[in-house]
A and B are shown apart, each in its own frame.
Chain A
Amino acid sequence: MLAKLPVDVLAAQQGTELAAGQVPRRVGRPRAPGAEPTLDGGQRLQVIDTLACVIEGAYCHLPQKRAGYAVDPVQALQLLRRRCVDMTDGEFHLAVTGLVTGLRDAHTRYRGPATVRGSVAALPFLIECYGRDQQPTFLVSKLAANSGIRKKTFVPGVELLHWNGIPFARAVDIYAKRETGGRPDARRARALESFTFRALDYGPPPDEQWVIVGYRTLDGDDDEVRVPWRRIMPGAAGTAVQPSSGVRLKVAADPAREAVRRAKKLMFAPALWQADQARTAAPAGDWLPTEMQDTIAARLISTRRGELGYLRIWSFDVDDHEAFIAEAIRLLAQLPDRGLIIDLRGNPGGLIWAAERLLQLFTPNTIVPTRFALLASPLTRAMAASPFNRLELEAWTASLENAIATGELYSQPLPLTEPDWCNDIGQRYTGPVLAVADSNTYSSGDLFAAGFLDNRIGPLVTVGQATGAGGANVWSDRLLRDALTGTPYAFAPLPAGVGFTLAIRRAIRSGPADGIPIEDTGIPGIRYAITRRDLLEGNCDLHDFCADLLAGQQT
């Protein structure tokens, strides 16, 4: 039976079946002339030459990726250049996507043709795992109310056994090879997170048009269900960073993961998804009402140590950091000061200012923000010297010039958040605090976790080995094109709406970890393994674990 939802939300949830739509098949011959944009040989060369130029000259992790993964993306692009004219369009996009994904950097993405812009291929259920890394158990943790799946035994809690006939753990590992992530555990976590939600802007659509899912029912029987992939358009929240915003150059986020996060919200919390569009505070169980529910939420939780405050930061994707901080202060004032859990799991990042300024609310310490460095190259020197970028990059200019003589690979690292702004409000929550992150806590989420430790605010608990390890400020191709205007590296708009995002300024930790990069390593914390009860009973074991740590902090 369908849940009662407005027609437009239902339509958004349903989307269209991937098999019926016009989604470009990125592999294989075009189905019909004009069915999808195709790039001619000259346009493919333009894409390759542009990518080679900016990856060599502006990609801030290039030395690290060359060393860490023994890859040379620039040479790979040159090789692709020699054969790209003979490829099908699908083969070309897939080759470029694979090459860029091989950098294992969720900031740095190849964005395919405009026909798929904003869409996510989705299955109406969420898969999560619990147990040890080496022996995980996969289960369906959420099922959309309007899933359309008729099998009554396919419900939250069923254990997954097979995926199109492949043992499930193996299927995840195969898919993980297509995913970003510096560490194997991070890749697997990302693969699992996007296993049933694929952001089509940044990767190919699923190979299959439907899946056959083998599962063990709650009664212990084995069963199968066939579920078609659907294409949905989750959109962005009204509070998200706008393309023309004054803060658009201060973003650290995984755009694909943000799209997936929004898609999950549409599927599993459609009322909140709708409220995001209207920028209203929708009632949501025992959560405190907030108009910024897309990014932040708070409530009381019961633990074996009593009631604690719980602050969930879903994302830092906000255009107005002042409003975000003000809302956090308002919510914190309604929580008890016995202890606070700040949950950053799955946070794909967003506005750096929002993440770094938030830290001050939880500590009397002076916050030292993360610093960011540009790759020292002729391109970045020309970019920093351009009068169009003086406001943004003037502070980096001298060290970029000096690098010619010193041989430094990077400019001087400087904060993107003014230190004064990180300390302009002061502590607003005086009780003990603890942060929880996981391998899908990324980018500005990484920055918050790093700042939480490096400024000695409290302990960090990590599900998985560490946070997701996205250590950079990321720009879109549009922002980079804008910044290179008037320089010898200026490039034309790419054809068919093709684009990219690029890690442009590399994040360096402060405090006791001063100088350590975040990319690929992430922020390790106190390890915690998710339990079955966590997945099916509202993270109750995790909350108890955190409550014990907070109790220890108090003593």
Chain B
Amino acid sequence: MALVIAGRVVPLASDPAVAADTSASFRGRVWIGDDGMIAAVTRSRQAGPAGFEAAPVVDVGTSLVLPGLIDLHNHLAYNTLPLWSEPTQQAPFAHHDSWTRARSYAASVTWPAHAFVTAAPQELLAYAETKAIVGGTTSVQGSPPKNRPRDGWLVRNVEDETWGTRNRNLVYASTLTMTPTALAERANRMRAGSLFMYHCAEGQPGTVAAAEFRDAVAAGCLQQLFVAIHCNAVDSGAFAQWTERGAVVWSPLSNLWLYGTTTDVPAARDARLPICLGSDWAPSGSKNVLGELKVARIVADHHGWALADAQLVEMVTANPGDVLARSWGRQTGRLQPYAAGDVTVIRAASGADPFATVVKATERDVQLVVVNGKARYGTPALMRRSSAQPVTDLTVAGQRRVLSLTRPDDPAQAWPWEEILARLEQVRADPKREIELGLARLAAYSGPFDDPGSPLRLALDMPTGIAPVGGLPKDLTQIRIPALDSLTHDEAFLASLVGRGWHGGVLHKLADYYR
């Protein structure tokens, strides 16, 4: 069904017919057609395209109508977990292989995540995607490997999105370090049109992790379809080699939490590389990319980097949208004709600077999120005006919100949020029993695993850590699952930043945005 959203449009468009540059904002309307794509973006009361006569018009007043936010670095399977730190660690970790060897890592991260992916994969993804959407996210990277195709549910899953083409090779991702040969194979995949998102050179400068970028260079990966996640170990001069510019993904909270340093963003920008933001995973990251925007602001200010709010907002909209479009063949991250109808509405006062408003916005300010022309999340009033059906209620940061979440086995039925929470709590209460029941459900299925009707099976995409052979404790009753991580940057999360991690107090300023 078509949808029209009226408000203060911040299109970040590259189409000059919409706006002269990406800094523009104006009172206008976004017209999303039945196909989920934007048909037009118009100013003021300018007439819209034909065929929208019956479409609901959702006027959000002075609120900002933005492209849906894009989180280009995450690991959804772990997003029920709280921030993790190793109590015995005396100094910042050197690189990505250091903290996975920490004593508490497997028990704190791998084992509880294993319980959820095995016992309640659907509920886990519903929770993780909800956590993303309450922060205005419409596309998220880091969907766990799965046995069968599954396009995004609430939000687009970058690795899984096929745009109806059934082509599963649009986007490749690797969390783990790849051999030079495997990288060379990926280089050729990119030459054939696939995007490759690679955790590359994650660690402190001067460590062995820097070699991963050199390997990528030698393999021929420095292409426009290469997205290098982290690169905080990369020597600042090395970015200049990347002349066919792909993109670098910056996750400042996670970097500071683990290593005390972060990506040399000015150096990457000097090499004219687009920068995208990623909230990373719950054990070392922010709750969503809206939160990560604030961390980026804090860290840029801390280092004295000249990064305007508008440039930060581009890191979660136009920049990732452009790089994804090279493989997807569809534009996201910009509001313009032929782009996907992915929209985020953020509350704003009349006349407020739109980009500063977005950077400062919290989950309380997210009014409406539309994915592919369908209202998926928002205030009860805006969701009603968007004719969103079916829906379930939930409370976010103390405010009532409505979520259009449907049952995995019946898209016509709402999936009550309380039911999802109850199921996850059931797993928490008795992980051993629930893991075994989950395995039994898989064992009972005798058909092909890639059949759309097969039980959903997820895999963890991060390293296992130091654990017994087989990765799990001898006795599964030893698995302890912490309380579900909240959806928002609440008081408990802000408190958990204090005295932990290796950010040296820099992240304490995050509380200024939320308190």
The CA of A405 and the CA of B249, in the complex, are separated in Å by 34
Q: Does B446 contact A (CB under 8 A)?
A: yes
Q: Could you tell me if A391 and B460 are in contact, using CB atoms closer than 8 angstroms?
A: yes
Q: Known contacts A388-B147, A486-B145; decide if A418 and B474 are in contact (CB<8 Å).
A: yes
Closest to A389 in B: B459
Q: How far is the CB of A416 from chain B (nearest CB, A)?
A: 6
The CA of A388 and the CA of B144, in the complex, are separated in Å by 10
Mark interface residues in A405-438 (1 if CB within 8 Å of B CB, else 0): 0000000001111101100000000000000000
Q: Could you tell me if A388 and B145 are in contact, using CB atoms closer than 8 angstroms?
A: yes
**Candidates B449, B460, B472, B476; contact of A482 at CB < 8 Å:** B449
The CA of A249 and the CA of B439, in the complex, are separated in Å by 12
| Interface-lining segment among A98-106, A191-199, A239-247, A450-458 | A239-247
Q: How far is the CB of B457 from chain A (nearest CB, A)?
A: 7
For A420, the chain B residues whose CB sits under 8 A away are 468
Q: Could you tell me if A246 and B448 are in contact, using CB atoms closer than 8 angstroms?
A: no
Q: Could you tell me if A485 and B450 are in contact, using CB atoms closer than 8 angstroms?
A: yes
The CA of A391 and the CA of B110, in the complex, are separated in Å by 9
Most buried by A among B457, B474, B475, B476: B474
Q: Does B489 contact A (CB under 8 A)?
A: no
**Candidates A388, A390, A418; contact of B469 at CB < 8 Å:** A418
Closest to A484 in B: B449
The CA of A242 and the CA of B467, in the complex, are separated in Å by 24
Q: Could you tell me if B470 and A416 are in contact, using CB atoms closer than 8 angstroms?
A: yes
Q: Which of B451-489 contact A (CB under 8 A)?
A: 457, 459-461, 463-464, 467-472, 474-476
For B471, the chain A residues whose CB sits under 8 A away are 390-392, 394
Q: How far is the CB of B74 from chain A (nearest CB, A)?
A: 16
Closest to A357 in B: B474
Q: Could you tell me if B450 and A414 are in contact, using CB atoms closer than 8 angstroms?
A: no
Q: Could you tell me if A416 and B448 are in contact, using CB atoms closer than 8 angstroms?
A: no
Q: How far is the CB of A263 from chain B (nearest CB, A)?
A: 24
Q: Does A257 contact B (CB under 8 A)?
A: no
Q: Known contacts A390-B460, A391-B471, A401-B179; decide if A245 and B436 are in contact (CB<8 Å).
A: yes
Q: Which of A221-247 contact B (CB under 8 A)?
A: 242-246
**Candidates B443, B460, B463; contact of A244 at CB < 8 Å:** B443
Q: Does A395 contact B (CB under 8 A)?
A: yes
For B435, the chain A residues whose CB sits under 8 A away are 246
Q: Does B95 contact A (CB under 8 A)?
A: no
Q: How far is the CB of A510 from chain B (nearest CB, A)?
A: 14
Closest to B443 in A: A244
Q: Could you tell me if B468 and A249 are in contact, using CB atoms closer than 8 angstroms?
A: no
Q: Does B29 contact A (CB under 8 A)?
A: no
Q: Could you tell me if A421 and B468 are in contact, using CB atoms closer than 8 angstroms?
A: yes
Q: Does B114 contact A (CB under 8 A)?
A: yes
Q: Known contacts A243-B443, A493-B448; decide if A415 and B469 are in contact (CB<8 Å).
A: yes
**Candidates A244, A386, A391; contact of B440 at CB < 8 Å:** A244
For B511, the chain A residues whose CB sits under 8 A away are none
Q: Does A165 contact B (CB under 8 A)?
A: no
**Candidates A387, A388, A391, A492; contact of B472 at CB < 8 Å:** A391
Q: Could you tell me if A482 and B442 are in contact, using CB atoms closer than 8 angstroms?
A: yes
Q: Could you tell me if A388 and B459 are in contact, using CB atoms closer than 8 angstroms?
A: yes
Q: Does B447 contact A (CB under 8 A)?
A: yes
The CA of A416 and the CA of B468, in the complex, are separated in Å by 9
For B468, the chain A residues whose CB sits under 8 A away are 418, 420-421
Interface of B (DSSP majority class)? loop
For B440, the chain A residues whose CB sits under 8 A away are 242-244
Q: Could you tell me if B147 and A492 are in contact, using CB atoms closer than 8 angstroms?
A: no
Q: How far is the CB of A168 from chain B (nearest CB, A)?
A: 43
Q: Which range holds the interface residue count of chain A?
A: 20 to 34
Mark interface residues in A465-490 (1 if CB within 8 Å of B CB, else 0): 00000000000001001100110001
Q: How far is the CB of B458 from chain A (nearest CB, A)?
A: 9
Q: How far is the CB of B368 from chain A (nearest CB, A)?
A: 35
Q: Does A322 contact B (CB under 8 A)?
A: yes
The CA of A485 and the CA of B8, in the complex, are separated in Å by 48
Q: Does A250 contact B (CB under 8 A)?
A: yes
Most buried by B among A245, A387, A388, A490: A387
For B474, the chain A residues whose CB sits under 8 A away are 322, 353, 418, 421
Q: Could you tell me if A322 and B475 are in contact, using CB atoms closer than 8 angstroms?
A: yes
For B444, the chain A residues whose CB sits under 8 A away are 244
Closest to A401 in B: B179
The CA of A292 and the CA of B457, in the complex, are separated in Å by 34
Q: Could you tell me if B472 and A246 are in contact, using CB atoms closer than 8 angstroms?
A: yes
**Candidates B448, B460, B467, B476; contact of A387 at CB < 8 Å:** B460
The CA of A486 and the CA of B463, in the complex, are separated in Å by 19
Q: Could you tell me if A478 and B443 are in contact, using CB atoms closer than 8 angstroms?
A: yes
Q: Known contacts A388-B457, A391-B470, A392-B470; decide if A493 and B447 are in contact (CB<8 Å).
A: yes
For A421, the chain B residues whose CB sits under 8 A away are 468, 474
Closest to B472 in A: A391
For B461, the chain A residues whose CB sits under 8 A away are 387
Q: Which of A350-378 contact B (CB under 8 A)?
A: 353
Mark interface residues in A270-312 (1 if CB within 8 Å of B CB, else 0): 0000000000000000000000000000000000000000000
Most buried by B among A353, A391, A414: A391
The CA of A145 and the CA of B182, in the complex, are separated in Å by 65
The CA of A242 and the CA of B435, in the complex, are separated in Å by 13
For A395, the chain B residues whose CB sits under 8 A away are 469
The CA of A477 and the CA of B147, in the complex, are separated in Å by 17
The CA of A390 and the CA of B461, in the complex, are separated in Å by 9
Mark interface residues in A241-261 (1 if CB within 8 Å of B CB, else 0): 011111011100000000000
Q: List 23 A-B contacts (CB under 8 A).
A: A243-B443, A244-B441, A244-B442, A244-B443, A245-B436, A246-B435, A246-B436, A246-B439, A250-B470, A322-B475, A386-B459, A388-B147, A390-B463, A391-B467, A401-B179, A415-B469, A416-B470, A417-B469, A418-B468, A485-B147, A485-B449, A485-B457, A486-B147
Which residues of A are in contact with B by a Cβ distance under 8 Å?
Answer: 242-246, 248-250, 322, 353, 386-388, 390-392, 394-395, 401, 414-418, 420-421, 478, 481-482, 485-486, 490, 492-493
List 15 additional A-B contacts (Cβ < 8 Å) besides A244-B436, A395-B469. Answer: A245-B436, A248-B439, A250-B470, A386-B459, A387-B461, A388-B147, A391-B460, A391-B470, A391-B471, A394-B464, A394-B471, A416-B469, A418-B474, A420-B468, A490-B449
Which 10 residue pairs spanning A and B have beta carbons closest together? A391-B471, A244-B440, A387-B459, A244-B443, A418-B468, A244-B439, A387-B145, A388-B459, A243-B443, A485-B449
